[in-house]
Every structure is written in C-alpha cells, then in structure tokens.
Structure 1
Amino acid sequence: MLSVSGLQSAYGPSQVLFDVELGVGEGEVVTLLGRNGMGKTTTVRSIMGLLKPSAGTVRFTGREVSGATPETVARLGVGLVPEGRQTFPTLTVRENLVATASNRLKRQNPWTLERVYALFPRLGERAGQAAGTLSGGEQQMLAVGRALMTNPKLLILDEATEGLAPVIRAEIWRCIEALKAEGQSILLIDKNIHVLKRLADRHYILEKGRTVWSGSSAELTANADLVHRYVGI
C-alpha cells in the first residue's frame, strides 16, 4: 500500500532525511521508531506532501506521490493525526468532525458521526463544545476521529499518546486495537515500545534520518540492546 524508498528531505539547507525506507501493507500496523530529532515527523511530512522530498520515492497504492500536494495525498486515502493534534479550536467537536468528512473511496460501513461517537463516547457528550476547551486527551480523540471521518485507506498517527494521562492513553490504544481488528492500515509513531510490540506487525527504526533496522515484533523483542541503542528505552 505505502512504499517509501531512498527518501531524502531537507528544510532549506539543513538536510534531515538521508535514506529512509519503509512500507505498510494492506491491513498492517507498522511503527516508526527512534529518538526525538531522528526524522520521524519529517518522514510523515514528506509522505503527506507537507514537505517536498529532494530525492527518493513515495508510492501509495501503486501511484507515485513524491512531491504531490497534501490535498492530493489525502484524496488518495491517507488520513493524518498530526503531532500536536491541530484541531480547529473555535469550531465545535461536531464541526471539527464534519469539516473534512468524506467517503471518496466508497468504503463500505464508512465512518460517520455516530460511529466516531461510539468509538469515543466523550466526543458525543461534548459534541457542541468548542475544541479549544477540551482536555489534551479529548483533543487527541477528536484528532483521531477527524482523520477517520475522511475514511482513509491508511491512517498515520504521529506521537499517538504523547503527553496524555494513563487512562486516556489506554483509551487511545483501545481505539487502535479496534481499528486493527477492522483491518485498518496504520503507520504509528509513539514511544511506548511495550504496547507497540503487542499491537504492531512490523517496525522501522530511524537514526539520524536513515532507516537502520526493520523487523517483526518478535525480532524487536529479541533485540533489546538494539532498542536501547536507537530508541533509548
């Protein structure tokens, strides 16, 4: 579904990505791991068209999208839950959810307001409340719900549970488990290795803008020294 090969990207003269390789198959949950500043968010921005790569290829469902606009990538079926949530603070919960809602890919059993409220009951309870007045955890639920309302083929979550209280973090993981059970393809960035090893099918590790390792959860578990070296856990 998603294939990234030899990806290089820079912010002006400062090159951040030098050789990123990763892939996500149909129905897979795949993680992108690494310490802060290693290029994970830059990789996501490059995939989404928010940053134009200087070299390499990004292909989605067989189509090259390297350098495509964010709108084009989104229309092809990539939904993003960005780092920092980035909800529309002056719009209500309901307005945030319907603002970008679509089912261009004619998905069966599409995501609707009712389905999102069933997944995150708190959002239903706060449907008329301005997003800017929600707690951080509720805003993260809203960001996930908003991405799901685009009915994506691939869902990307950048720092899925960063800064959240344990009870909210558990709710986000429950949501991701439910999405996996439905066959949703997911690319996931987070630091909770223990949960990621249980949830994900495969993992990629970035170090200074390069993919330095990839493998299954069993292989990641067997390489504790590697995790400590590159992820710091």
Structure 2
Amino acid sequence: MSEVLLSCTGIQAGYGASQVLFGIDLAIREKEVVTLLGRNGMGKSTTLKTIIGALAPQAGHIRFDGKLLNGMRPDAIARLGIAIVPEGRQCFPNLTVEEHLLAFAANRNGQADSWTLDRIYAVFPRLKERARNLGNQLSGGEQQMLAIGRALSTNPRLLILDEATEGLAPVIREDIWRCLATLRDAGQTILVVDKYVHRLVGLADRHVILARGQVVWQGTSAQLDADRGLWHTHLGV
C-alpha cells in the first residue's frame, strides 16, 4: 500500500466566532483519487482552505509528506507540491493562455516525466488553439481547462480541484472528466470537490462525506455506489 501523502487530524476551523469544522479527519495516499462530498455549506471549501493555508486551523494538525503545515504560508505550502484549481477558476485577465502555463512552471514532484507545455496542450488541444488569447477572452470551459493546466504546470504532488465542473455545459463537463481520468491513470494524486456523484464513483478510489463540518462517512467507490441512501441523505441526489 502506498504511503499517506496528506493527513488531516482533528481539524477545527471557522471564521471569527462562527465555527465551521468540528474535528475533520482525512487521509490521502499517493496516487489516490479522493473526493470530498456533501451538500452546500457543510465545510468542503473550508477544509480545502485549511489544507492550502488560506485559513488557519483552530485545532488539529495537517501534515503533507510528514511535514506539519500548521502555520505555514500558502506560498510555502504550494512550493511543497500542493496545487489547487480554485472555485471560479481565477484566471488572470491580462495574461495569455501560454503565459499562464509558463509563468507558474515548476517541477515540484521531482519526476522526469513532467507536465511540460506540450504535454498540457496534448491533454487540452483547445488551449493550444487559444494560446495567444487573454484569460478574459475564454469561455467558462476554456478557463477551467486553463486553471487545471496552470496547476499541472507546477507538477504538483497533490492536485486539488474545488467544484471541478461547476457551471459548465454538459459537453465541457465530459471533457473535464476525461482529463481527470487521464491524470488518474498517470498516477496523479487528486482531491476533488464536485456534486456529480454518478461520475465520481467511476473516477475516484475513495470518498469522504461531510455534514455540518464533520466526516459522516468514508468508503470506496463500490461502497458508495451500492448505498444510494447516502446519496439521498447527504448529497441531495
């Protein structure tokens, strides 16, 4: 069994006097694809914010490859090899597609088979076609492809996607699912938040369901697929 890459133990966090997370436990092994599921407002994005250092946990510990992340700045955490595709994409309006992909290029996983510009273009041919276009000249689907490509250009050890296909047309969602399957098959470790459970069970190894800031269920895709009561109770499907 592969080594644990990310572990969250007893994470409590919130905003001011409003506590959102109440003891989150989460572990992701290398080369695993894990989803974080739950209805809106249950703590998924807050959990991601604590992992990437955008929100300091009030209690508990977060470790990445054994290194304690508590108190580290987001840029330092990113340099360790954690990249996020944020909700809303957050592409820069005044940078071209190619500038996005070159400006953040790094090799944080230390592997020879890196995500080069050409390799990213091979996964997303549309980005190559739009290489000279600015970020604000792209469709929502193209911006999502660019946000994923930008994260991959850092060659992360852990790729996090927050609302991976939110607001995208069905045909574009299918492109994103195919991309994530390609990344999984290449051995990329992924943590993904999304609401399309029927697609996630065919993509991910394990799933973690949150409700009111707590983990209420963890299990494999086979276990989640077999228990549709969980879908109705906790996911609104």
Same fold (TM over 0.5): yes
Letter in 2 for 1:223: D
Q: CA deviation at 1:189?
A: 0.5
Paired positions, count: 233
Counterpart among 203, 207, 210 of residue 206 in structure 1: 210
Counterpart among 99, 107, 110 of residue 103 in structure 1: 107
Which residue does 1:146 correspond to in 2? 150
SS at match of 1:23: strand
Superposition pairs for residues 77-92 of structure 1, below 5 Å? 77-92=81-96
Letter in 2 for 1:84: G
Instruction: Report sequence identity in percent.
Output: 59
Give the Cα–Cα distance (whole angstroms) in 1 for the partners of residues 151 and 88 of structure 2. Answer: 14
Superposition pairs for residues 184-199 of structure 1, below 5 Å? 184-199=188-203
Are 1:123 and 2:132 counterparts?
Answer: no
Letter in 1 for 2:206: R
Counterpart among 203, 223, 226 of residue 230 in structure 2: 226
Deviates more, 1:222-231 or 1:41-50: 222-231
Counterpart among 66, 69, 83 of residue 65 in structure 1: 69
Q: Is the 8 A contact 2:108 2:156 kept in 1?
A: no
Q: Is the 8 A contact 1:27 1:180 kept in 2?
A: yes
Q: CA deviation at 1:99?
A: 1.6
Letter in 1 for 2:226: A
Unaligned runs of 5+ in 2: none
Q: CA deviation at 1:67?
A: 2.7
Please report the RMSD computed on the Cα atoms of aligned residues, expressed in angstroms.
0.8
**TM-score normalized with structure 1 length:** 0.98
Unaligned runs of 5+ in 1: none
Q: Is the 8 A contact 1:31 1:200 kept in 2?
A: yes
Deviations 1:10-38 (A, max 9, x none): 11111111111111101000000000111
Q: Is the 8 A contact 1:51 1:67 kept in 2?
A: no
Give the Cα–Cα distance (whole angstroms) in 2 for the partners of residues 12 and 224 of structure 1. Answer: 36
Give the Cα–Cα distance (whole angstroms) in 2 for the partners of residues 17 and 129 of structure 1. Answer: 40
Q: Is the 8 A contact 2:32 2:190 kept in 1?
A: yes
Q: Is the 8 A contact 2:108 2:157 kept in 1?
A: no
Give the Cα–Cα distance (whole angstroms) in 2 for the partners of residues 20 and 133 of structure 1. Answer: 39
SS at match of 2:172: helix
Give the Cα–Cα distance (whole angstroms) in 1 for the partners of residues 56 and 20 of structure 2. Answer: 12
Q: CA deviation at 1:105?
A: 3.7
Which residue does 1:215 correspond to in 2? 219
Deviations 1:36-87 (A, max 9, x none): 1111011001000000110011111111112311111111111100011011
Deviations 1:131-175 (A, max 9, x none): 111000000000000000000001000000011011110000000
Which residue does 2:117 correspond to in 1? 113
**TM-score normalized with structure 2 length:** 0.96
Letter in 1 for 2:199: V
Letter in 2 for 1:15: Q
Counterpart among 37, 41, 44 of residue 41 in structure 2: 37
